[in-house]
Structure formats: structure tokens, C-alpha cells
Structure 1
Amino acid sequence: MSRDNPVCLGPDHLKNRSTNLVGKSTSCYPSLSVDGRATGVVSHVGAVVLLRAAERAGLTGALSDALAPWRKPLASHDPGKIVLDIAVALALGGDCLADVGLLRAEPGVFGPVASDPTVSRLITTLAADASKALAAIDSARASARAAAWAAAGQHSPGHGIDADHPLIVDL
């Protein structure tokens, strides 16, 4: 796990956590609170469920670690968070890189979001070595997926699946 970016930690961060970290956020995204005052309405707050699931499965930390080789020395935005922000923008209905602006409009929910030029530069950098970048992203996704299925236990889609009991998908 990368210690260069202690904010985006994976699922193993709790095992080695010291008491002086208690109370500090381990999320790339701000903490939220809910009240009944009917002010501060956020239109895309449903994406928080998606982000918290990604955090619990370790996707935020895994992407941060996997894409660390592409991080510029003085960069203020983590490539893993940028890629996750793009994915969230797509989940919210976006269809191009500029749609990360949906997240940028709500810094209290999504934290600091990279500018369009920064996103574009990262994608250009990743595309220059596409096979390595895709392998890194695939590795992070596989790690998070394995953690999610392990956490799901008997409710996992792959629970009890083997050669004698194959998974059957009825289309």
C-alpha cells in the first residue's frame, strides 16, 4: 500500500492502524453528514454509495497504488482518484471526460476534482503506454472485486461455484 498518499488506503489499512490515526479520514472523499434543515441539497449524492462501496472494497487504494508510476512528482491530484472520478461521472450519466465537471460542482461531496486539462493530460499519459495502464487498472479492479466477493461470503456470486456446480447464467 502506498504511503505517499495516506488518504486513499485500501482494505488492509485497518489491520496495521495505530491509535493515533483514529478519527482521521482514510477516504479520498469528504465525510458527509445528514440533517433535516432542507438546505445544502446535492443532486448527485447517490454517487456516495458507489464511492463508499469502492472504498470498502479497496478500489480507491488499489487504483492509487496501481497508477502511482504515472503520477508526476509535483502533482496535486492522484491518478487513481482521477480515474475513479471519471468512472463515477460515467455512472452519473456522463459520456465524456469533461463530465467530471458534475463532480467538481460538488466539492463538499466529491472533494477536490482535477480540472479538465489535468484529466486530459492523465489520459494522454496513460494512453502512451496503454497496455501497461490497462493492466494496472485491471489488477486494481480484480483486487477490489476479490475483496468484495470475500466480504460477501456466502452471498457472493461465486460462492459454492466449482467444476461440479458451475455458475449458470440464464439469458
Structure 2
Amino acid sequence: SQSLVSHAGLSVLTSFLNAVDFRRLCEDRFSQFVPATATHRPGKILGALALSLAAGGEQATDIDQLRAAPELFGSVASDATISR
């Protein structure tokens, strides 16, 4: 429950990303670099990185903060996927 409280403010950023259709925008711009069969799409990965930074992360591997709370953030790409 402490992770729920510490990440509660991220719901505003998540709502904003959804409101501007961030995933679709990223898909339009970056899908050429990602296989069509990829599980984690560009918008989902970049959105998760933005949330990680907003939560105080300083590097891409800090995304594990989100991975530790799947009930809030869903499936988060692995470090290897993000680095690609």
C-alpha cells in the first residue's frame, strides 16, 4: 500500500498522456523502428519512461519502480527491451 501512495501522483501524468493520445503519436512516429509483432509498443515504453522520470528516476533502469507495481502500471517492458 505504500507503493500505491508514493505513485498516486503519477495518475495525473498518466491521464495527461492518455488525453493527448501519446501512444498513438509515438506509434505514428516510431513504429518503423519496431517490429509489428513487438509486445511493448513505442508509446507504452516512452510513456513508462516519462512516468519513471516523474517518480524520481534518473536513468532508464529506474523503470523497475513501475515494474514493482503492476497493479498500477500494468506490464512494463524489461530493461533489455527498453535499451533497444
Q: TM exceeds 0.5?
A: yes
* Among candidates 90, 108, 120, match of residue 83 of structure 2: 120
Q: CA deviation at 1:61?
A: 1.9
Give the root-mean-square deviation of aligned CA atoms: 1.4
Which has the larger helix fraction?
A: 2
Q: CA deviation at 1:58?
A: 1.9
| Alignment partners' CA distance in 2, 1:69 and 1:119 | 16
Give the structure 1 partner of residue 31 of structure 2: 68
| Alignment partners' CA distance in 1, 2:43 and 2:16 | 16
Give the structure 2 partner of residue 58 of structure 1: 21
Amino acid at match of 1:118: T
Question: How many aligned positions are there?
Answer: 82
Q: CA deviation at 1:85?
A: 0.8
Amino acid at match of 1:84: G
Amino acid at match of 1:65: D
Check if 1:90 corresponds to 2:38: no
Amino acid at match of 1:45: A
| Alignment partners' CA distance in 2, 1:73 and 1:55 | 22
| Alignment partners' CA distance in 1, 2:56 and 2:66 | 12
| Alignment partners' CA distance in 2, 1:60 and 1:46 | 20
Structure with bigger gyration radius: 1
Q: CA deviation at 1:79?
A: 1.4
Give the structure 2 partner of residue 100 of structure 1: 63
Equivalent position SS for 1:114: coil
- Identity level (%): 38
Gaps of 5+ in 2: none
Equivalent position SS for 1:61: helix
TM-score (ref. length: structure 2): 0.86
Please list, as runs of the form range in 1=range in 2, the aligned pairs for 1:12-161 lying within 5 A after superposition.
40-41=1-2, 42=4, 43-121=6-84
